[in-house]
Amino acid sequence: MNSSIAFDAHVDSLQLALDLGCDLGRESPGQWDLPRAIRGGVGATVLVCWVDPAFLPHGAQTRAWALFEAGEDLARRHPELIRLVGNGDQLEKAQADGCLAGIMGIEGGHAIENDLDCLRAFFARGLRVMTLVWNNHLPWIRSCQAGAGADIPRGISKFGRAVVVEMNRLGMLVDLSHAGETAFYEVLECSSQPVMASHSGCLALHDHPRNLSDDQLRTLSAANGVVGIVFHPGFLDAEARAADAAVYATSAYKNLKGDGETARMLLQRDHLRKNAPPLPIERLLNHIAHACDVAGVEHVGIGTDYDGILRAPEGLEDAGCYPILRAALCKRGFLDSEVEAILGGNMKRLFEQVTSAGMAAEQAPFEHLYSNLAERPPGAAIPQGSKGAQANADGRVVEMGTKPVSGTQR
């Protein structure tokens, strides 16, 4: 079995580089960095630029560019470890040269600030994946969370359709994790290319708004898309979700302080790991197996959400742990060829298909990294944000899906 087959469709670690100055080319305090990913057999990773909705209405694009530059900085500083890629040929070349293939992504369409020219600018710089919506509803697409106002479309608006059509034209992979159910189906109806749900679970196993129903899994499969099974215990298991919520409610958790939200997230992670019972890896395997049964093995992958979650299933605490998952899948009864497909082959096939179909994705967008990109330390004068639980008007924490943070609504 190829030792570098894994393709992780969703990793949030760039905010550690930007906000804390972490060099992800060395072992970092987070869950993902290049040494551990390479040691774990990861051959490709989508590096996500997640923008806290607190940066709206006028700072989201600026924050996204800063995170994007942090990804470029990482590739420029460690060319022997990672190469940013814009299409399947470049991915193959990077892996043949012994590098991890980095794919730049954005999580949350609010980063383009309702502007197709902004989307095109990100694409020209190398963006190849966009999660259309996060947990905050947008004027052009509804998320899976409750609380949408009357001005939010039931699914996607005319502009939302234009975003999908333009992404298809350019050769950019549409990601439907976090999308509301109607939005999910409407995007599939208007997309001329297959899509993914990069980091989701199975609703049949745990009734969480971030998980996909069996019908959604079948529809995604029929469109030749791929679902990446997430590692977040709260999405995978009801008891784990309740255990996390109990920790979030404690004064000890609420009183954790850090130098900014990203630093506080690391403290929250350590506290949760110490105070919540571990989630057995079998719970993750159950979601993978169910998705394979419903959608077919060729339509299931992995999207860990490392550094966008506070903890992961037992044994899979960081990006160096893929051999444990590989062994567990084999023990579960999956064939070697099926394990290769789930861990990386399916996502790689999807990325190659979508980028090769685009009008411009064959261009090499990252040549500037080694020539004209000025030296710039990550994190310079950019305000911080942190994914997570947000509090409503009465101060009650509402789980938004990843980094739980209590406090006032921003």
Question: pLDDT tens for residues 301-345?
Answer: 999 999 999 999 999 999 999 999 999 999 999 999 999 999 999
Does the structure show a pLDDT above 60 at 176? yes
Strands 226-229 and 100-107: unpaired
> Which DSSP helix (H) or strand (E) runs through 173?
strand 173-175
Tens of pLDDT along 96-115? 999 999 999 999 999 999 99
Taking Cα atoms as reference points, which of 115, 90, 93, 117 lies closest to residue 104? 90
Instruction: Report yes or no: 376 and 153 within 8 Å, Cβ to Cβ.
Output: no
Instruction: Report yes or no: 40 and 319 within 8 Å, Cβ to Cβ.
Output: yes
Task: Quote the domain boundaries for residue 221.
Answer: 6-237+274-373
Structure tokens that stand for 54 in this block: 């607190």
Instruction: Report yes or no: 194 and 299 within 8 Å, Cβ to Cβ.
Output: no
d(CA 184, CA 192): 14
Rounded average pLDDT over 130-151: 97
Tens of pLDDT along 184-207? 999 999 999 999 999 999 999 999
Per-residue pLDDT, 364 = 65
Does the structure show a pLDDT above 70 at 382? no
Tens of pLDDT along 346-360? 999 999 999 986 666
Task: Label residue 150 exposed, middle or buried (CB < 10 Å: 0-12, 13-18, 19+).
Answer: exposed
Prediction pTM value: 0.90
Entry field: residues in the chain: 410
Structure tokens that stand for 296 in this block: 């077919």
Residue 28 included in any domain:
yes
Residue 267 included in any domain:
no
Instruction: Report yes or no: 310 and 269 within 8 Å, Cβ to Cβ.
Output: yes
Residue 311 included in any domain:
yes
Does the structure show a pLDDT above 80 at 281? yes
d(CA 196, CA 221): 10
Per-residue pLDDT, 380 = 37
| 3-state secondary structure labels for all residues of 297-341 | HHHEEECCCECCCCCCCCCCCCHHHHHHHHHHHHHHCCCHHHHHH
- Place 93 in a pLDDT band, splitting at 50, 70 and 90: very high
Residue 389 included in any domain:
no
Taking Cα atoms as reference points, which of 131, 109, 122, 126 lies closest to residue 48? 131
Instruction: Report yes or no: 227 and 300 within 8 Å, Cβ to Cβ.
Output: yes
| Mean per-residue pLDDT over the chain, rounded | 90
Does the structure show a pLDDT above 90 at 370? no
d(CA 380, CA 44): 28
Residue 245 included in any domain:
no
Instruction: Report yes or no: 9 and 44 within 8 Å, Cβ to Cβ.
Output: no
Residue 360 included in any domain:
yes
d(CA 61, CA 275): 37
Helices (H), 223-280: 233-236, 238-248, 251-254, 261-275
Q: Please give the residue that has the higher pLDDT: either 281 or 378.
A: 281
- Place 366 in a pLDDT band, splitting at 50, 70 and 90: confident
Per-residue pLDDT, 67 = 98
- Place 365 in a pLDDT band, splitting at 50, 70 and 90: confident
**CATH number, position 333:** 3.20.20.140
How many domains in the chain? 1
Type of residue numbered 137: H
Residue 185 included in any domain:
yes
d(CA 196, CA 194): 7
Residue 255 included in any domain:
no
d(CA 169, CA 240): 41
Tens of pLDDT along 199-239? 999 999 999 999 999 999 999 999 999 999 999 999 999 99
How many CB atoms are located within 10 Å of the residue 149 CB?
Answer: 7
User: From residue 355, how far is each of 87, 202, 225, 360 by CA, in Å?
Assistant: 5, 27, 14, 8
Phi and psi angles of residue 288, each rounded to the nearest 5 degrees, phi first: -60, -45
Peptide bond into 57 cis (omega under 30): yes
